[in-house]
Structure 1
Amino acid sequence: MRKGLRSTRFRVALTSFLASIIALGIVSAWLVLDAQHRLEDGAAQLARARATAIVQLLNTGATPADLGMLVRDSIYEVTTQSGERLASCPGLRSGAIAPGGQIEFGDNVRILDPGDIDLSWQVSVGCAPVLGENPEGNGLRLHVSATASGDSKYRVFGAAVVDESGQAALDSVRMTLLVGVPVVALLIGVIAWLAVRRSLRPVEAIRSEVAEIGAHDLSRRVPAPDSGDEIAKLAETMNTMLSRLDTAVTRQSRFTSDASHELRTPLASLRTQLEVLLAHPDRLDWHDACRNALLDVTRLQDLVADLVLLGKLDNSGPERFSPVRLSEVVESCLSGRQGVWARVEGDPVVPGNRGRLERLLRNLVDNAQRHTRTGVEVAVSTVDDFCVLTVTDDGPGIPADDRERVFDRFVRLDDGRARDEGGAGLGLAIVADIAHAHGGTAEVDRHDGGARLIVRLPSAERRS
């Protein structure tokens, strides 16, 4: 029960119900009050018209005693300045039409109590017919207008009641709205509940599917409705996220498997050498054994360093780069190397991390030197707001089918070569990751008589 009360459907329905009943209540109250005001304003205008008509009769020489024959279907009262009643219609047993029995000018309201009116008197004959419908005057509400005759000799009170048919219609409307507004608001709340329930069905389907997706089953996707609304976009976004997670988990699993395999080989070699050395200390040369063990440790150290760098590249967020001159990177990386020639056109500058850019070029040159026959050429130029770094060798080249996967991790195209010469297959993967981290690309270009690897990096002028 509490779970249902906290659901989105209930909250939206409750909000719709409350908003509807408040809005409809305010509008209905305003309409009723405006209609009531119009009815009472009409009665007040009629009272003023009756008072004015009697004053005109008195101004033309008629006396209060003559009004019984001259004025019909009206409610009025004429008094002296001191308040003595001279004429009235209808006849009142007690009190006066004047509110509170006082002589006041302007518009006022007078409530006649039961028994105030006596329709059996002669002066009550010919008064407003509405009085006959309420012979006892029970709660009769009069709108009274007070004025004076032209010679200020008399005080004249004209009165009128609200139109009974209009008041009855307004009372009927008021009762209808009093019952109808809550019913309509409740209906709106129910409609909102049903609409939200229907709208949230795809969300429930998405939630159920996500709840069943485990870390080892990321190939599943949530159902995407074809409505084209926000929920459909949510489903598309979640499917995109699941696809990225699936790719990342698959890549991580493959990376972990490959890394463990690469680490196992030098560790096994190192352990074997040490076990043989301990078992037969008199048959082995300690210097050669330590030298071979040191080579395995160095290979392990390099592999761990590469793995740590790849982990940093995978998990690093946006970095703050500084301008780096590629000519200085080339000079630093090629210093002391034999068989490597450099050609730098202009003074290309890229925003980046100098240490990682040096690592990128060093890996490219190391890879080229392992396969070249005579030498390696490094060229740097600027093309279409990109700084292009090209490393070319005259080795056996890279087959067309392998040009895409050569940048994958732990990929060695020459599987038959010796491990101490070939490395672990992480060099070009590091090149690609560093290039992507700098907003660039790494690719293998078509080249006859060797391999040509090209890295494109956005220049500092393009970024600015």
Structure 2
Amino acid sequence: MLRDLRRSTRLRVAAAAALSSMIALGAIGVVFVVQTQDRLEATATYTAKQRVYRIQELLNAGTPVDKINSRVPDLLYEILDREGKRVASCPATWNGKPLIARAESAGTGFTDFRLYDVDRNQREPMNCLAELQEYAYRDKPEQLDESQPIPLYNAMGYSEDQRYVVYAAATIDAAALTAAETTRTLLLVGIPLVSLLIGVIAWFAVRSSLRPVEALRREVAEISGHDLGRRVPEPGGRDEIPRLAATMNTMLDRLDTAMTRQVQFTADASHELRTPLTSMRNQLEVLLTYPDQIEWRPSCENALLDVTRMEELVADLLLLSKVEAAETGLVPVPLAEIVAACLDGREPREGVTIESDVDRAAVVLGHRTRLTRLLRNLVDNAERHATSSVRVTVSIVDDDCVLTVADDGAGIPEEDAERVFDRFVRLDDGRDRDEGGSGLGLAIVAEIAHAHGGTVSAEGSVLTVRLPRVES
């Protein structure tokens, strides 16, 4: 059961949907978080630069260093003299170490600051602590750990007289950072949940989509070899399911046709071979029973005739089975060449002449050997029933190539005009197996004509085949 579930299309599609959505959403989330962090850091760095410019303006305007803090008590800054000694800062640190680390050569830098470094005994106003405390208290207002580092994004500059180095810093906006961290947490939790939801939706969507397929499968599974006439229902719509049902019905049509042909072939062979086999058996049994009273040569000659008749019958049946299959390798064939191949060197029976009238522009797309067999069967049939003449005509009518074979015999009765093209049909004047053939000649003609997209008809003593014409 578990193995079948792992092989299930629904599970594979659902897992693929969930995994792909997780990868896609995760990539989008990472890009979003990184870009948000970059924007927050860039904003903090820009704020630090603006603070440096403000202090520089005060120094350049002649404001004493010890008065800077009263003018900008809310800024995070540090001023050093030429010897690197700190002369002013907000806030002041109790251990005397620099408040802000040295900036990079590009004029900006980054340092970590801790609240426990602040000198609480400083008398000057330190409104700048509000910014640090707002950042530190943003997520833990009741349990502040003053040893936790506060990231400062700093910038540097020089006073106009080059006496002082000015450093200023800024923290990331606490509210914006809190929103970004909340968004990151939501993404970490939400992306797997959304991916799982997408997988579940994909599971049910595929299950719903495959329900008609499962119905088709059950329907096809119930169709046995003896029930090929059944067809699966074709649902409405234009998606893949109706096309699948139509394809299955087409396949069932082909299987039904193939099975019918196989059954018909078997029935035809068994029916037609029974007579010569019975004749051979009787002759051989009589010869063995009365070896001194029966001459063996006539019996063997009769048996040989039966063998020849069976050989011809089997060849015709095999030809029919091949003709019924799909035609391949079709090429343009001039019917004039077919008539020439059939009639040149042919010796009709005594008292019968064969004439032809061929339009050389008549070209069809077909199988040369099969078309030659078609015409030969028509001429054989006409010659067998003709009184004195047979005429073969090839013409072009309504963009079709029309092949006509006529004789001056009694002709086919109107009621037999369609039946004559069935298998093993022999009319009253042609029932002699020795003279009338196996009864497959005109059936082969009809099958070859249909395989080439044409039609065949009989009217009296005139047999007509119409085939689609192609340009030579």
Q: Which moved further from structure 2: 4-13 or 308-317? A: 308-317
Looking at structure 2, the residues matched to 415 and 341 of structure 1 have their Cα atoms a distance apart, in angstroms, of: 21
Q: Aligned pair in 2 of structure 1 residues 401, 156: CA closer, same or farther (>3 Å)?
A: farther
Alpha-carbon distance, 1:329 to partner: 2.2
In the superposition, relative to structure 1, how do residues 396 and 425 fare at CA in structure 2: closer, same or farther (>3 Å)? same
What does residue range 48-447 of structure 1 map to in structure 2 within 5 Å? 48-94=49-95, 95-99=97-101, 106-133=107-134, 134=136, 136=146, 138-280=148-290, 288-315=298-325, 318-319=328-329, 321=331, 323=333, 325-332=337-344, 334-337=346-349, 338-347=351-360, 348=362, 353-383=367-397, 386-400=400-414, 402-414=416-428, 417-437=431-451, 439-445=452-458, 447=459
Do 2:48 and 2:154's aligned partners in 1 also have CA atoms closer than 8 Å? yes
For 1:231 and 1:281, how far apart are their aligned partners in 2?
A: 72
Contact between 2:424 and 2:439, CA under 8 Å: does it hold in 1? yes
The whole-number CA distance in structure 1 between the counterparts of 2:124 and 2:290 is: 147
Cα RMSD over matched residues? 2.7
Number of residues paired by the alignment? 457
* 1:23 aligned onto 2:36: no
Cα 1:403–1:64, aligned 2, differ >3 Å: closer, same or farther? farther
Change (3 A) 1:456 1:82: farther
Distance between the aligned counterparts of 2:348 and 2:386, measured in 1?
A: 18
1:144·1:157 contact (CA, 8 Å) conserved in 2? yes
Superimposed CA distance per residue, residues 274-311 of structure 1 (whole angstroms, 9 cap, x where no aligned partner): 32344345665656544433432332222122123223
Task: Answer whether contact 1:117 1:137 (CA < 8 A) is retained.
Answer: no
Bigger CA drift: 219-228 or 327-336? 327-336
Counterpart CA distance in 2 for 1:316 and 1:125 is 97
Tell me the alpha carbon deviations over residues 27-56 of structure 1, each in whole angstroms, 9 at most, x when there is no partner.
112122222222222111111111100000
Secondary structure of 1:381's counterpart equals strand
What is the deviation of 1:250?
Answer: 1.4
Amino acid in the other structure paired with 1:19:
S
Q: Matched residues in 2 for 1:57 and 1:137: separation?
A: 33
**SS of 2:116 mapped into structure 1:** coil
Q: 1:166 to 1:322 in 2, by over 3 A?
A: closer
**TM-score normalised according to structure 1 size:** 0.89
SS of the aligned residue for 1:122 comes to: coil
Unaligned runs of 5+ in 2: 137-143
- Which whole-Å CA distance do the structure 2 matches of 1:339 and 1:129 have between them? 126
Moved more, 33-42 or 11-20: 33-42
> Quick one: structure 1 residues 314 and 61, their matched pair in 2 at CA, closer, same or farther if it must change by over 3 Å?
same
Q: What amino acid sits opposite 1:97 in the alignment?
A: L
| Alpha-carbon distance, 1:110 to partner | 1.2
The TM-score, its normalising length taken from structure 2, stands at 0.88
* Shift in alpha-carbon separation, 1:110–1:353, aligned structure 2, 3 A: closer
Structure-2 change in CA distance of 1:65 and 1:240 (3 Å)? same
Q: Point out the more displaced range, 251-260 or 183-192.
A: 251-260
| DSSP-derived class of the 2:372 partner | helix
- Please state how far the C-alpha of 1:355 moved relative to its aligned partner: 4.2
Maintained 8 Å contact 2:454/2:468: no
- Rounded to whole Å, the distance in 1 between the matches of 2:438 and 2:389 is 23
Structure 2 counterpart of 1:35: 36
Is the CA contact 2:338–2:372 (under 8 Å) kept in the aligned structure 1? no
CA contact (8 A) 1:442 1:453 kept: no
Aligned CA distance change for structure 1 residues 111 and 443 (closer, same or farther; 3 Å): same
Contact 1:340–1:378 (8 Å) recurs in 2 = no
Are the counterparts in 2 of residues 148 and 154 from structure 1 also a CA contact under 8 Å?
yes
Alpha-carbon offset, residue 391 of structure 1? 0.7
* Partner SS, residue 257 of structure 1: helix
| Residues 345 and 382 in structure 1, CA contact (< 8 A), matched pair in contact too | no
Distance in 2 between the 1:319 and 1:256 partners? 28
**Cα gap change, 1:339/1:197 in structure 2, threshold over 3 Å: closer, same or farther?**
same
Cα distance change on mapping 1:405 and 1:247 into 2, 3 Å: farther
Question: Aligned letter for 1:341?
Answer: I
| 1:255-285 alpha-carbon deviations (Å, 9 max, x no partner) | 2112111000111122223323443456656
Q: CA deviation at 1:399?
A: 4.8
For 2:382 and 2:43, the matched residues in 1 are separated by 103
Q: C-alpha separation between the residues in 2 aligned to 1:452 and 1:192? A: 67
1:194 is displaced (CA, Å) by 0.6
Q: Distance in 2 between matches of 1:69 and 1:221?
A: 95
1:206 counterpart letter in structure 2: L
Query: 2:92, 2:270 → 1: CA distance?
Result: 115
Q: 1:333 Cα shift?
A: 6.6
Partner of 1:9: 10
